[in-house]
Structure 1
Amino acid sequence: MKIWTVFLISLTPSYLFAQNNLGPRLTALGNNGAAVTDIWSLQANPAGVISLTKATVSLNYTKHLFSDEISTQALVAVLPFKNNYVGASFQQYGFAEYSESKVGFAYSKTFGKKLSFGLNGNYHQLKITNYGSSTGFSVDVGALYRLNKNFTFGGFISNPTKQKFNSSEISAQISTSFNVGVSYYPSDKVLIATAVSKVLNNPLMLA
């Protein structure tokens, strides 16, 4: 496991938390959370939780391909009331010697039947054995527009203010990303979605 520790520590000068756990549905869509409504939108576009009509909680646990010791645990919860939605999320990634965790609190609101906005505040923590730990804060801002029953457009920005971890022991930035997407529902049982994402200082990604 030491090789994993060395590898992940070597990444700390760059951006962290670039990949959120988006749950099984959005993961199956290529981590496309820009314009798809789902409870796991809390980890992407916070405006995307507007499809929920009652209090909902979801858990997800992932074992990663290259090592049985590396895992991701995540939990999301949303409580809707009238045209308002409050949510909370938790995610932890890593293993004994290295871990990243994030706690988020979100608020979303619909304006009529077509438009919604969401805001998510995040508390980040990074721990590396023998290097110490560091914390930081970030926000995600998102919007969703339902053109008609078939087309929905969405976009969100993660960490637009380019916040960093506030420790001298660990030099790392919290990732800043820009995401736009569209979803198309040709029928009640079929969904086609695509999104373009740009993580600062990284190549453009298409989902």
Structure 2
Amino acid sequence: MFAPAYFSWKRFQRIFFTLAFLLFLTPFLLAGGLWEPAGARSAGLDRCSTALSDVWSIENNPAGIAGILHFSAAMGFQNSYLSPHLGTADVAVIYPVKSGTFGMNMRYFGYSLYHEMKAGLGYARQLSHNIRLGVRMDYLQTAFGDIYGHHSNFTFALGLQVAISRNTTMGLYLFNPVRVKLTRQSPEKTPALFRFGIAYRFSPNLLTTFEAEKNTNWQPIVIRGGIEYQTQKEFFFRAGIASSGDIFAFGFGWHLKKMQFDLSTTLHQSLGFSPEASLNLSF
């Protein structure tokens, strides 16, 4: 029997339509949402990120934060498919020390009736002049409505970057290899994710990157490619394509010595545009 204080017809309608909306989007969100790379720079390259090194590497490939030499902080927001209920907010903090680099990040996806949260604490170290290794512990939480409570668990991610040559970097990223469950009662497991990427710099002004992604809840291997061109000292233009999901992306960046602002959007073949903005600061 429902308690009157916790149930009303209006609340039932909201929950019903939220469930229907999420079920419709599930095939698309399993390849995105909290599992997408963070930062508008990566979004402008159609989510290529594994072989790059910036503040958002704490989420995209923790090995990349070993290349950051100053205390840094960043925040970003993505509006998936221009829906007011499908926003993702990101924050990240990077703190280098003599023995390596620490990083923290948090992601929040959704709204009051349904949301997911992921918080991570990572550490990376430069093992040699051309090898970086990183690890991140993650706390996952999913909440539905205001009467069903929330469920949570812990998992981890591993990252590796290798400078193959002066202009070529290879990156590997593995998230949740043990495929944890959010609840003991549910048989459904959080997906594992594997990415392999290569970045090649043709010149100081031109960077290209390619990436392959496999998600255990998304059968096809997704292939991505992106290009970043620096027109002047502070201005960058980016574009990318992918074999599935967000099939096209573009964006730009304005980089000063201690500030970096990036704005981009991806285009899904069925659901439309997902604009994203991020701001990075170094101290």
Structure 2 length-normalised TM: 0.67
Give the counterpart letter for 1:104 in structure 2. Answer: G
- Shift in CA distance, 192/21, structure 1 to aligned 2, threshold 3 Å: closer
CA contact (8 A) 1:47 1:108 kept: yes
2:56 partner SS: helix
Give the counterpart letter for 1:20 in structure 2. Answer: E
Structure 2 partner of 1:7: 21
Aligned length: 205
Superimposed CA distance per residue, residues 8-60 of structure 1 (whole angstroms, 9 cap, x where no aligned partner): 26749x96866335101111111112111121111121101122110000000
Could you tell me how far 1:138 is from its partner in structure 2?
A: 1.1
- Shift in CA distance, 157/164, structure 1 to aligned 2, threshold 3 Å: same
CA contact (8 A) 2:159 2:174 kept: yes
Q: Which moved more, 1:137-146 or 1:61-70?
A: 61-70
CA contact (8 A) 2:196 2:211 kept: yes
Could you tell me how far 1:101 is from its partner in structure 2?
A: 0.3
Give the counterpart letter for 2:19 in structure 1. Answer: T
Structure 1 length-normalised TM: 0.90
User: Which residues in structure 2 correspond to 1:79-158 (within 5 Å)?
Assistant: 79-82=95-98, 84-129=100-145, 130-158=147-175
1:59 corresponds to which of 75, 79, 96: 75
Could you tell me how far 1:6 is from its partner in structure 2?
A: 2.7
Structure 1: distance between partners of 2:188 and 2:112: 19
CA contact (8 A) 2:63 2:159 kept: yes
Between structures 1 and 2, the one with greater helix share: 2
* Percentage of matched positions with identical amino acids: 22
- Shift in CA distance, 15/30, structure 1 to aligned 2, threshold 3 Å: closer
CA contact (8 A) 1:83 1:110 kept: no
- Shift in CA distance, 36/67, structure 1 to aligned 2, threshold 3 Å: same
Give the counterpart letter for 2:166 in structure 1. Answer: K
Post-superposition, which runs of at least 4 consecutive aligned residues in structure 1 deviate over 6 A?
Answer: none
User: Which residues in structure 2 correspond to 1:157-196 (within 5 Å)?
Assistant: 157-168=174-185, 172-196=188-212
CA contact (8 A) 1:15 1:173 kept: no
CA contact (8 A) 2:34 2:107 kept: no
Report the aligned-residue RMSD.
2.2
Structure 1 partner of 2:61: 45
